[in-house]
Amino acid sequence: MSAHAKKSRPWSLSRGAVNGALVLVTLHTLLPLGWLLTAAAKNTPDLLGGNTLSLSNFHLTDNLHALATADGGIYFRWYLNSLLYAGGGALLCAFICVCAGYAFEVYTFRGQEKLFGLVLVGVLIPTTALALPMYLLASRIGIVNTFWAVFIPSLVFPFGVYLSRIFVSGYVPAEVLEAARMDGAGELRTFWSIGLRMVTPGFVTVFLFQFTAIWNNFFLPLVMLSNSKLFPVSLGLYSWNAQTRSFPEFYPLVVTGSLLAVLPLVVAFVALQRHWKAGLTAGSVK
Specify if 43 maps to a domain.
Answer: no
Give how many domains the chain has, as a whole number. 1
pTM passes above 0.75: yes
d(CA 51, CA 251): 14
Residue 1: the pLDDT is 47
Specify if 52 maps to a domain.
Answer: no
Count H helices and E strands in the chain, helices first.
17, 0
Specify if 145 maps to a domain.
Answer: yes
Specify if 41 maps to a domain.
Answer: no
Q: Which domain holds residue 258?
A: 67-283
Specify if 4 maps to a domain.
Answer: no
Our CA dihedral for 194, 276, 84, 62, rounded to 10 degrees, sits at 150
Residue 127: the pLDDT is 81
- Confidence class of residue 30 from pLDDT cuts 50, 70 and 90? confident
Side chain identity at 279, as an amino acid letter? G
CA angle 80–203–119, rounded 5-degree value: 100
Specify if 211 maps to a domain.
Answer: yes
d(CA 62, CA 255): 13
Q: How far is CA 231 from the centre of its chain?
A: 17
Could you report the per-residue pLDDT of 71-81, keeping only the tens digit for each? 888 999 999 99
Could you report the per-residue pLDDT of 35-72, keeping only the tens digit for each? 888 888 888 888 888 777 777 778 888 889 998 998 88
Average pLDDT over every residue of 238-253:
88
CA angle 206–218–129, rounded 5-degree value: 80
Specify if 45 maps to a domain.
Answer: no
CATH number of the domain enclosing 74: 1.10.3720.10
Specify if 57 maps to a domain.
Answer: no
